[in-house]
Amino acid sequence: MDCQNTRVYNYILIENNIYINVAQSIIGLHFYLFNNGKPFTFLERTTRSQLINRLPSILIRFVRVSQFTYAFYVEKRKYKNKVPLSLITTNHYGQCLLKLRQGEYKVFNLKEQKVKTILPDYISFLEAENRISSTKEISQYEFAPDLINWSVKERYLTEEYINFNRPSYNFSSIEKVYMEIFPIIKKIMTVKNTQTLEYKKFMQERVENLSKVFQKMNCHKSRCADEIAKIRDFCDNVIKILENNQSDTTITLVFSHGDFWEGNILTKNGDTRVIDWNTHKHRSCYFDFYFMLFMLTTKNSHMDKINQLGLIKLSRVMDSLFENFYNSLTKSGFFNQDLLSSLKNSNIYRYLFYMELIILKFPENNITIEQINEVNTWVKRFKLYEATVKKNGK
């Protein structure tokens, strides 16, 4: 563990929930972002100029870093002139700060190659202790970042910052998903032993979890009645489908990342690392598989929007993707023949994924309107996918 810093640092918002330390020099920021900011995908985006976009990617990156640094320069001048700005004050030092949806902050020290996660105040001491303990365990795996130091009392943990690039996947190059994504998912699945649970018991526990979720949502019923009703109707339909299933007597649970998508994958020269493990646990066998694919349908669109074309593309390749992934599991030697037989039921495991994701998206503490809206978007996504599959007669 390290000692808590008593100095205070102010971070000002620049864009995309990215805040920059006002004490950071302009030249220093440009240097660190260009050389050590490879995971920051917003620095890889094309510019508004078609001429610049024809340049080599390294030059496009230089332009984007320059644009971002200039935006910081403008906001820093406003700060010095005491213009009101969106500001975060903390005693944790870094060049950049990322504000996350669940109230967490990530402070990036690009010079020392460290990233510090600051846990929100609303979580209990025990929850902070469990989070740090689980991060210690995860850090032992070769594909996860090293844990450097932590403090339960101060609610933070410091991990290795991995300056690798984030890969990009799409349904037009599906072979890349076969070759790169499937081996990573299998590696995650197999770091811990599988668990088998009686189907009825599994369903009973998940239904109870959902019941608790809807009880917590009642406080927002006056403002989100329609959204809550749509989520409830979808869950009731999923439960009905799953309870009518008689083909399986057990459910196979494997170790799952819980937020496995290209934004949490970093690669360099064949070395692959996976970050942000705060949602890991044992889940139904194909949770990470389905999560990755549904996240691909949001490509080139905002997460709050429904990308119908992406869902159509997924419906066209889902069967072949599942078959390929299942075949790779049969060759892995990790599952015995009885388990493999039960893992063929793609429809059941897909609906299990729907139910588990909805539970995952609602934390154990108070539920917010933003979380209700996010889950409602996921429900719309799932319903549109199922309607597309039904229309195509699959």
Q: Is residue 252 domain-resident?
A: yes
> Are residues 356 and 348 in contact, defined by beta-carbon separation less than 8 angstroms?
no
How far is the C-alpha of 296 from the C-alpha of 307, rounded, in Å? 10
- Report how far residue 290's alpha carbon sits from residue 125's, in angstroms, rounded to the nearest whole number: 33
Residue 301 vs residue 188, higher pLDDT: 188
Sign of CA dihedral 356, 359, 363, 365: negative
**pTM beyond 0.75, yes or no:** yes
Query: In the beta sheet, which residues pair with residue 158?
Result: 116, 149
State whether 260 and 143 are in the same domain.
no
CA distance 144 to 159: 10
Element (H, E) at 292: helix 287-296
Give the pLDDT score at 5. 61
Q: Are 234 and 382 in contact (CB under 8 A)?
A: yes
Longest Cα pair distance anywhere in the chain, in angstroms?
70
Residues 176 and 28 in one domain: no
Which structural domain, as residue segments, surrounds residue 387? 171-391
Tens digit of each residue's pLDDT (9 = 90 or more) over 140-150: 999 999 999 99
Q: 123, 157 in Cβ contact below 8 A?
A: no
* Whether pLDDT at 55 is above 90: no
Highest average pLDDT, of 13-17, 303-307, 340-344, comes from 13-17
Q: Which among 135, 160, 185 is the end of a domain?
A: 160
- Domain shared by 253 and 104, yes or no: no
On whether both 357 and 218 belong to a single domain, the answer is yes
Could you give the CA distance from residue 66 to residue 74 in angstroms, rounded to a whole number? 12
Last residue of a domain, one of 160, 182, 212: 160
Q: Hey, is 229 helix, strand or coil?
A: helix
Q: Is residue 377 assigned to a domain?
A: yes
Amino acid symbol at 31 = F
**Does residue 13 sit in the same domain as residue 142?**
yes
Tokens of 351: 């609906």
Amino acid at 224: C
For residue 4, tell me if it sits in a domain. no
Size of the chain in residues: 394
From the centroid of its chain, how far is CA 106? 14
Residue 366 has pLDDT above 90, yes or no: no
Could you give the number of structural domains in the chain? 2
328 and 260 inside one domain: yes
Residues 107 and 188 in one domain: no
Whether the pLDDT of residue 49 is over 80: the answer is: no
Q: Could you tell me if 67 and 84 are in contact, meaning their C-beta atoms sit under 8 angstroms apart? A: no
pLDDT at 74 over 70: yes
- Position 1 pLDDT exceeds 80: no
Per-residue model confidence as pLDDT tens digits over 8-45? 999 999 988 999 999 999 999 999 999 999 999 888 76
Q: How many CA atoms lie within 13 A of 144 on its CB side?
A: 22
List the CATH number of the domain containing 341: 3.90.1200
- Predicted local confidence at residue 45, as pLDDT: 66
Between 2 and 236, name the one with better pLDDT. 236
Instruction: Tell me if 195 is assigned to some domain.
Output: yes
pLDDT band at 321 (very low <50, low <70, confident <90, very high): very high
Mean pLDDT of 373-384: 96
Residue 3 within any structural domain of the chain = no
Shared domain for 207 and 344, answered yes or no, is yes
Residue identified by tokens 């005491």 is 82
* pLDDT score of 35: 96
Residues 152, 235, single domain; the answer is: no
Q: Where are the beta strands (DSSP E) in 165-275?
A: 195-198, 250-256, 265-268, 271-274
Question: Are residues 207 and 111 part of one domain?
Answer: no
* Residue 194 pLDDT grade (very low, low, confident, very high; cuts 50, 70, 90): very high
pLDDT for the residue numbered 247: 62
In a domain, 1, yes or no: no
CA distance 304 to 374: 7
The residue out of 131, 160, 189 marking a domain boundary is 160
Mean pLDDT of 352-371: 90
Q: What is the pLDDT of residues 82-104, one digit of tens each?
A: 999 999 999 999 999 999 877 89
Q: Is a pLDDT exceeding 80 seen at residue 59?
A: yes
The three-class DSSP label of residue 316 is helix
For 119-172, what is each residue's pLDDT tens digit?
998 888 998 999 999 999 999 999 999 999 999 999 999 999 999 999 989 888
Summary mean pLDDT of the chain: 91
Q: What percent of the chain has pLDDT over 90?
A: 70
**Which range has the top average pLDDT, 86-95, 305-314, 330-339?**
86-95
Residue pLDDT, tens place only, 238-278: 999 998 876 668 899 999 999 999 999 999 988 999 999 98
- Residue 166 inside a domain? The answer is no
Alpha-carbon separation of residue 166 from 69, 151, 286, 335 (angstroms): 21, 29, 23, 31
Pair (80, 153) in one structural domain = yes
First to last CA, the chain: 55
pLDDT of res. 48: 67
**What's the mean pLDDT in 188-214?**
93
Same domain assignment for residues 48 and 91: yes
